[in-house]
Amino acid sequence: MISFLAKKVGPIGLDIGYNSIKMLQFAQNNGQIRVAAAEKVQFKSDLGDDADARKDFIVKSIRDAIRRGQFSGTKVVSCIPNDNIKIRSLRLDPTEIENVEQLVKDELAERFEYNPDRDEIRYITAGKVYNGSEIKNEVIFFATDRATIENHITLLEEAGLAPDGIDPVPCSLIRSFQRSMRRQADQARIRSFIDVGDLYTTVIIGSCDQIYFIKQIPSGGKNLNEHVSSKLGIGIEESVLLRSKIQHGNTDTINESVIRSVNDAISQGVEELIREISLCFKYCAVTFRGHHPEEIILTGGEAYESVFTEALAATLNLEVNIARPLQGVELSGSSYVWDQGSELCEWAVAAGLGYKNWQVNNYAGANNE
């Protein structure tokens, strides 16, 4: 393992989400990890889903952040958006594991509907499972078309950055906890890490040493905001603002009946999402016998939604905690104004990206070795 002392300043971790851009860079001084620089930019509401307008906004926002001079260098680690990557789990015979490269060319590409000569497929080994009386290897494959990667690299270069790595979101999430969960008991403890973003919810089950299961559910905050908008007869932007105030306890100017209406509106979306998450837990319980999560750790902007967290804990009968990906990290070294009353769980992906190439392990990034 490479020590944090190997680099005094890490790469810029760049998390380009649906509603915001987050940039985070770590530095090390005398063994203490600190945030050297951080930026968060909200997308303008009038951009909508216009790909060209969003790209121009991203490039300009990154250039402006670099120009302000807080970030050191231009090396960046970023992630492929969830909607541009496919994740599949397959059970392979031991002989297939030994010849996984040939499997990718002969069979897996067809299942993904990708061309192995044109597209990219990577994998991580989840572990051994019983398939009837046979023992198989569960392998998690990540696939994306090469054009997506090339376009992403072009965007970074146009913004003045030098790509130093590209990660799938799940790998970045797990990496964000490896530094804070260094104790042996923490490393081995089975948890579910659930990132609830705007468009996707990513469910990971495993420990800091081993990922067993990954699933991306195409539902998140955008869906909940649409429920509120429809029920209350207000715009999406107003729904986002109203929900944010309720989540953070800024309800002095909000009528109790409005709060109840908002909670009722999102309950349907929450129930649907938890139903999908429950299926993930059932699959993992059957597939990996004895590997039951002891705790759920939530990341992403929707982790602050109490209607969701309370229903999740009640349905799965597990302790649910909001992540603190920057716990133990000195925050005062940057000019960014942090919300000191927040767990800052929405920074988990950016933190995991910022740690890449400082810390090496067997699944910090999907591989093809």
Q: Give the mean pLDDT of 274-283.
A: 94
- Does position 162 have pLDDT exceeding 90, yes or no? yes
Least confident of 25-39, 119-133, 178-192, 282-296: 178-192
Quote the CA–CA distance of 86 and 120 in Å, as a whole number.
11
356 DSSP assignment:
B
Total domains in the fold of the chain: 3
* Domain containing residue 127: CATH number: 3.30.1490
Contact assessment for residue 10 and residue 339, using Cβ atoms and an 8 Å cutoff: no
What pLDDT is attached to residue 2? 34
Q: Give the mean pLDDT of 282-291.
A: 82
HSE-CB at 190 with a 13 A cutoff on CA atoms is 15
Q: Are 159 and 173 in a shared domain?
A: yes
Q: Are 225 and 243 in a shared domain?
A: yes
What are the backbone angles phi and psi of residue 141, rounded to the nearest 5°?
-105, 140
Quote the CA–CA distance of 114 and 34 in Å, as a whole number.
41
| 59 assigned to some structural domain | yes
* Domain containing residue 285: CATH number: 3.30.420.40
Q: Which residue has the higher pLDDT, 73 or 335?
A: 73
What pLDDT is attached to residue 185? 60
Q: Are 222 and 285 in a shared domain?
A: yes
Q: Are 20 and 154 in a shared domain?
A: yes
Q: How confident is the model at residue 6 (pLDDT cuts 50, 70, 90)?
A: very low
- Does position 233 have pLDDT exceeding 50, yes or no? yes
- Does position 160 have pLDDT exceeding 90, yes or no? yes
Quote the CA–CA distance of 212 and 188 in Å, as a whole number.
12
In single-letter form, the type of residue at position 348 comes to A
Q: How confident is the model at residue 116 (pLDDT cuts 50, 70, 90)?
A: confident
Q: Are 224 and 172 in a shared domain?
A: no
Q: What is the pLDDT of residues 251-270, one digit of tens each?
A: 888 999 999 999 999 998 99
| 78 assigned to some structural domain | yes
Q: Are 272 and 205 in a shared domain?
A: yes
Global pTM exceeds 0.85: yes
Quote the CA–CA distance of 216 and 86 in Å, as a whole number.
9
Quote the CA–CA distance of 92 and 108 in Å, as a whole number.
11
Q: Give the mean pLDDT of 343-367.
A: 74
Which ranges constitute the DSSP H helices of 99-254?
A: 100-103, 109-112, 146-158, 169-178, 184-188, 221-232, 236-247
What pLDDT is attached to residue 133? 74
What pLDDT is attached to residue 100? 74
Q: Are 212 and 330 in a shared domain?
A: no
What pLDDT is attached to residue 97? 67
Least confident of 131-140, 146-155, 290-299, 328-337: 131-140
| 369 assigned to some structural domain | no
| 368 assigned to some structural domain | no
Q: Are 294 and 338 in a shared domain?
A: no
Q: Are 62 and 91 in a shared domain?
A: no
In single-letter form, the type of residue at position 70 comes to Q
Q: Give the mean pLDDT of 286-308.
A: 89
Contact assessment for residue 119 and residue 146, using Cβ atoms and an 8 Å cutoff: yes
What pLDDT is attached to residue 232? 93
| 259 assigned to some structural domain | yes
Q: Are 279 and 244 in a shared domain?
A: yes
Q: Are 243 and 286 in a shared domain?
A: yes
What pLDDT is attached to residue 230? 93
| 62 assigned to some structural domain | yes
Which residue, among 330, 20, 25, has the nearest Cα to 197 in the 3D structure?
Answer: 20
Domain holding 100, by residue range, is 86-144
| 112 assigned to some structural domain | yes
| 367 assigned to some structural domain | no
- Does position 359 have pLDDT exceeding 70, yes or no? no
Contact assessment for residue 174 and residue 204, using Cβ atoms and an 8 Å cutoff: yes
Q: Are 171 and 123 in a shared domain?
A: no
